[in-house]
Amino acid sequence: MSLSPATALVSYLGAADDGLNPWLRLQPVGRRRLAMQAAHERDATALWGLTEAWLRADPRHGAIAASTTKNDRTGLRHLLDAWSQEDLLRPAPDAAAAYVRTLERRGLAPGTIPNRLATARGLYAALRWARAVLADPFEGVHTARDPTPPWEKCLPYDDDEVAALTQAATDPHDRVLVLLGAHTGLRAGECVTLRWEDVRPGRRDLTVRRGKGGATRMVAMSATLARALQVLPRQPDGYVLPYRASVSAWRHIQALCQGVAPVNRTAHVDVDGSPMRHDVTPAVASRATVVGVAAG
């Protein structure tokens, strides 16, 4: 059986920015036709290819993290499953609001529902970009207000809890991982991509390349982290840590927390790919932003 034009297009979309060119090379009429076909066939792969092309074509979106694309692909699949009876090109007037209410009834984490809504809006922005649709069914649709204040959802670990984690870490890489999250506030993706060329223990600072939104920033480090880095064995690939994925870093932290009674709450935290920001940043990290990491 021959591939449909939309599916055939996906086969050479490629990854990251390589996926842009085939969509952009299409004439507007061809792009519209393939986008409409992908929507009609509910082709998740082609629809994601279109959405990612739209995201990368618009400079306002900046750099797109791998965790973001993973979450968006998952959100797109959930929307297609939930709308199995909907015509994607002409959804019912109340279909978008009903979708959000369904997500809320499922008891998902408060942060997950806005992400799913953003994914759905992104899909229809991409379809409008391709001129496959004119309307946005998610316009004016909002999630229910969360009564729990943001600072109550994930309380930072205190100094004693971070100390317990570092003492429990028999692997020096795990100890540095904890301290990077606790004393600098780095996200998991920033920790696993940190390279030795960007670390300066003598000056007690480091540089984060392509952080959130693609930004580069300089971050001060504590004396404790500087000492831990100075004795850390160096790897031939130039990376500070041996983990190459955010989820690997999170699993190491989770294993430490499960073995230390005072900080076993990590096992119950819904992580979105940035565990260092959400799970192990203690109060000292907030103070470090103000005082330049005078502590530790």
Q: Give the pLDDT confidence score for residue 163 in this predicted structure.
A: 85
Q: Do 274 and 161 fall within a single domain?
A: yes
Q: Do 107 and 184 fall within a single domain?
A: no
Q: Give the pLDDT confidence score for residue 288 in this predicted structure.
A: 37
CA distance 24 to 13: 11
Q: Give the pLDDT confidence score for residue 101 in this predicted structure.
A: 92
Does the reported pTM lie above 0.85?
A: no
Q: Do 193 and 287 fall within a single domain?
A: yes
Query: Could you tell me if residue 169 is inside a domain?
Result: yes
Phi/psi at 32 (5° precision): -65, -45
Q: Do 260 and 177 fall within a single domain?
A: yes
Query: Could you tell me if residue 141 is inside a domain?
Result: no
Range of 186's domain?
154-291
Query: Could you tell me if residue 24 is inside a domain?
Result: yes
Cβ within 8 Å of residue 252, ≥6 positions away: 171, 174, 177, 243
Convert the pLDDT of each residue in 85-97 to its tens digit. Answer: 999 999 999 999 9
pLDDT by 10s per residue, the chain, length 296: 344 555 455 443 444 455 456 777 888 999 999 999 999 999 998 999 899 888 878 767 666 666 677 888 899 999 999 999 999 999 999 999 999 999 988 888 777 899 999 999 999 999 999 999 998 999 999 888 766 666 566 666 778 888 888 888 889 999 999 999 888 888 888 898 999 999 998 899 999 987 766 778 999 999 999 999 999 999 899 999 998 888 888 888 888 887 776 554 443 333 333 334 344 443 334 333 333 333 44
Furthest C-alpha separation in the chain: 66
Residue 183 · residue 224 · CB < 8 Å: yes
Dihedral over Cα of 220, 203, 224, 213: its sign: positive
H helix or E strand, kind and range, residue 37: helix 28-41
Query: Could you tell me if residue 277 is inside a domain?
Result: yes
Q: Give the pLDDT confidence score for residue 66 in this predicted structure.
A: 65
Q: Do 165 and 266 fall within a single domain?
A: yes
Q: Do 118 and 158 fall within a single domain?
A: no
Nearest to 184 by CA among 204, 202, 161, 163: 204
Q: Give the pLDDT confidence score for residue 21 in this predicted structure.
A: 61
Q: Do 158 and 123 fall within a single domain?
A: no
Domain endpoint, select from 129, 162, 180:
129
CA distance 138 to 101: 13
Query: Could you tell me if residue 142 is inside a domain?
Result: no
Q: Give the pLDDT confidence score for residue 289 in this predicted structure.
A: 36
Q: Do 106 and 184 fall within a single domain?
A: no
Q: Give the pLDDT confidence score for residue 262 in this predicted structure.
A: 54
Q: Other CB atoms closer than 10 Å to residue 13's CB: what's the count?
A: 19
Q: Do 41 and 118 fall within a single domain?
A: yes
Q: Give the pLDDT confidence score for residue 270 in this predicted structure.
A: 34
CA distance 152 to 141: 26
Residue 265, CA atoms < 13 Å, CB-side half-sphere: 13
Assigned token pair, 41: 């066939």
Assigned token pair, 263: 């900080």
CATH number of the domain at 254, please: 1.10.443.10
Domain count, the chain: 2
CA distance 179 to 288: 13
Query: Could you tell me if residue 140 is inside a domain?
Result: no
Helix 112-129 vs helix 66-82: crossing angle, to nearest 10: 80
Residue 186 · residue 208 · CB < 8 Å: yes
Query: Could you tell me if residue 56 is inside a domain?
Result: yes
Q: Do 124 and 158 fall within a single domain?
A: no
Q: Other CB atoms closer than 10 Å to residue 146's CB: what's the count?
A: 12
